[in-house]
């Protein structure tokens, strides 16, 4: 037998751990994905089987975190699903009274492009004061990247006109090919480790919550739990924004769908 084959039992044990820790549902069809994402880690640790890796994890909580980092899908980019950012502009223009700071939570923010995109819209409308963005994720390694706010320029990077110049710095010499989010913007964006399947720390109430491209990894029970956790931090009259490919249908959670095609819900 190939020393590093992933047996059914080992896959079930690993997927059980991932489910209990992060709420991520891994059906058998994800076996090759799990294998591919973990095999180099096994090699690095000089372990010769997934059985040995399971034993290794069971003795080290730090390795459990590394494993969750490797298993999670962190794809994200600036101004992903741009209609949601247009909607945010609309809310600021038509509903925001300016009395209290406008607060937005980007839950499951990955490497930070989503919370920084939100921050750019807020700064564009309100200047650099009177608002706050909180980004959170279960993975500490993506949060480290988010806090640095430095990104390789890539083909998915598309900003509304003028935003790049207004809110980012283009790298030169050693840093050419990169952009850095400007310090004024960064000051109003904070990052915190939050597992959406566990009790959320005291982070206050928000006017808008982005919960995009994470529920696709959850089964119905986990979706319900994550939604309940998130919604307990949404103000009455506030908005929940999920991805176009997601829905809260079937969860029994009662929110008003206000823009069908854009997956935007309002809390009564
Ligand atoms: C595909 S990214 C989505 C990033 C961004 N929201 C977007 O739409 O571009 C999914 C993120 O969800 C995070 N995640 C997965 N399970 C989580 C959980 N239980 N609690 C918090 N974050 C979780 C992953 O670490 C990953 O960074």
Closest CA to 146 of 203, 184, 186: 186
Residues in the chain: 268
Closest CA to 147 of 103, 194, 180, 120: 180
Instruction: Report d(CA 133, CA 191) in Å as an integer.
Output: 9
Instruction: Report d(CA 210, CA 107) in Å as an integer.
Output: 6
User: Is the Cβ–Cβ distance between 223 and 161 less than 8 Å?
Assistant: no
Q: What is the pLDDT along the chain (268 residues), one digit of tens a residue?
A: 455 799 999 999 999 999 999 999 999 999 999 999 999 999 999 999 999 999 999 999 999 999 999 999 999 999 999 999 999 999 999 999 888 999 999 999 999 999 999 999 999 999 999 999 999 999 999 999 999 999 999 989 999 999 999 999 999 999 999 999 999 999 999 999 999 999 999 999 999 999 999 999 999 999 999 999 999 999 999 999 999 999 898 999 999 998 767 799 999 9
Helix axes 8-22, 31-44, angle to 10 degrees: 90
Residue 132 DSSP SS3: strand
**pTM: predicted TM-score of the whole model, two decimal places:** 0.95
Query: How many beta carbons lie within 10 A of that of residue 95, not counting itself?
Result: 11
Instruction: Report d(CA 247, CA 249) in Å as an integer.
Output: 5
Helix axes 31-44, 50-58, angle to 10 degrees: 70
Burial status of residue 157 (CB atoms within 10 A of its CB: 0-12, 13-18, 19 or more): middle
Active-site entry in 37, 41, 65, 224: 37
CA atoms within 13 A on the CB side of 238: 18
**Hunting for tokens 């799990």 — which residue is that?**
34
User: Is the Cβ–Cβ distance between 139 and 214 less than 8 Å?
Assistant: no
Q: Ligand 1, closest atom to CA 137?
A: 22
Active-site entry in 21, 80, 137, 212: 137
Closest CA to 72 of 32, 23, 117: 23
- Ligand 1 pocket test: pick from 138, 140, 151, 225 the residue with the most ligand atoms within 8 Å of its Cβ: 138
CA of 122 to the centre of ligand 1 (A): 22
Domains in the chain, ordered, with CATH? 8-71 (1.10.155.10), 82-266 (3.40.50.150)
CA of 198 to the centre of ligand 1 (A): 14
Q: Which protein residue's CA is at the shortest distance from atom 3 of ligand 1?
A: 213
Instruction: Report d(CA 243, CA 80) in Å as an integer.
Output: 9
Instruction: Report d(CA 183, CA 87) in Å as an integer.
Output: 25
Task: Please spell the DSSP secondary structure of 178-201, one letter per residue.
Answer: EEEE-HHHHTTEEEEE--TTSPPP
**Hunting for tokens 């709420």 — which residue is that?**
23
């Amino acid at each position: 037998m190939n020393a590093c084959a992933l047996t059914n039992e080992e896959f079930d044990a690993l997927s059980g751990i991932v489910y209990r820790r992060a709420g991520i549902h891994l059906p058998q069809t994800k076996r090759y994905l799990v294998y591919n994402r973990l095999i180099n880690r096994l090699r690095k640790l000089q372990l010769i089987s997934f059985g040995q890796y399971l034993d290794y994890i069971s003795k080290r909580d730090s390795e459990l975190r590394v494993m969750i980092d490797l298993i999670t899908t962190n794809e994200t980019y600036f101004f992903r699903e741009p209609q949601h950012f247009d909607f945010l502009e609309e809310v600021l223009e038509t509903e925001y009274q300016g009395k209290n700071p406008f607060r937005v939570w980007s839950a499951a923010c990955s490497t930070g492009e989503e919370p920084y995109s939100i921050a750019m819209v807020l700064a564009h409308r309100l200047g650099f004061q009177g608002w706050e963005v909180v980004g959170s994720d279960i993975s500490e390694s993506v949060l480290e990247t988010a806090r640095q706010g430095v990104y390789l320029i890539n083909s998915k990077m598309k900003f509304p006109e003028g935003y790049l110049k207004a809110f980012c710095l283009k790298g030169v010499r050693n840093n050419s090919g990169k952009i850095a989010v400007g310090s004024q913007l960064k000051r109003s964006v904070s990052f915190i480790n939050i597992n959406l399947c566990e009790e959320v720390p005291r982070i206050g109430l928000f006017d808008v919550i982005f919960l995009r491209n994470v529920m696709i990894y959850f089964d119905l029970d986990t979706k319900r739990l994550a939604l309940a956790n998130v919604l307990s931090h949404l103000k009455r009259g506030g908005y929940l924004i999920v991805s176009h490919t997601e829905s809260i249908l079937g969860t029994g959670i009662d929110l008003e769908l206000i823009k069908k095609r854009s997956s935007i819900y309002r809390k009564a």
